[in-house]
């Protein structure tokens, strides 16, 4: 007789071959006293869900870190743009100031 670990290894392979969706059909959910295979199936499905949730959380964390880094660089880009715009508009600003000063002096 196979040990519990050997049976679970066989079932795990069987469920993996079936795929998650088809493996779910093995458990109709109406068992009064589910077999060891059905109990293991439920554990296996819970482990798959946990792995999916962990992967989603990792992806969300990576996106958040990327967004945070992007915000940091966006500030530097905005500051550089302001400086470039001020340099480019230097003559116009100088003209504006001199026009306002001449208007007040009259």
Give the pLDDT of residue 89.
Answer: 76
Q: What is the mean pLDDT of each run of 10 residues along the chain (106 residues)?
A: 86 91 82 83 92 91 80 76 80 78 78
The span from the CA of 34 to the CA of 41, in Å, is: 10
Give the pLDDT of residue 35.
Answer: 85
- Return phi, psi of residue 27, to 5°: -105, 100
Q: Where are the domains of the chain?
A: 4-105
DSSP code, position 12: H
Give the pLDDT of residue 43.
Answer: 92
Give the pLDDT of residue 53.
Answer: 92
Whether the Cβ atoms of residue 27 and residue 34 lie closer than 8 Å to each other:
yes
The span from the CA of 52 to the CA of 30, in Å, is: 26
Give the pLDDT of residue 106.
Answer: 65
The span from the CA of 70 to the CA of 76, in Å, is: 10
DSSP code, position 29: S
Give the pLDDT of residue 31.
Answer: 67
């Amino acid at each position: 007789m196979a040990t519990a670990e050997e049976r679970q290894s066989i079932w795990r392979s069987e469920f993996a071959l079936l795929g998650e969706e088809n493996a779910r059909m093995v458990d109709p959910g109406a068992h009064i006293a589910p077999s060891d295979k059905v109990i293991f199936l439920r554990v296996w499905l819970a482990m798959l869900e946990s792995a999916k949730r962990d992967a989603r959380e990792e992806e969300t964390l990576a996106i958040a870190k990327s967004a945070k880094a992007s915000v940091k660089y966006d500030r530097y880009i905005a500051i550089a743009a302001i400086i470039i715009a001020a340099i480019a508009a230097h003559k116009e600003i100088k003209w504006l100031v001199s026009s306002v000063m001449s208007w007040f002096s009259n």
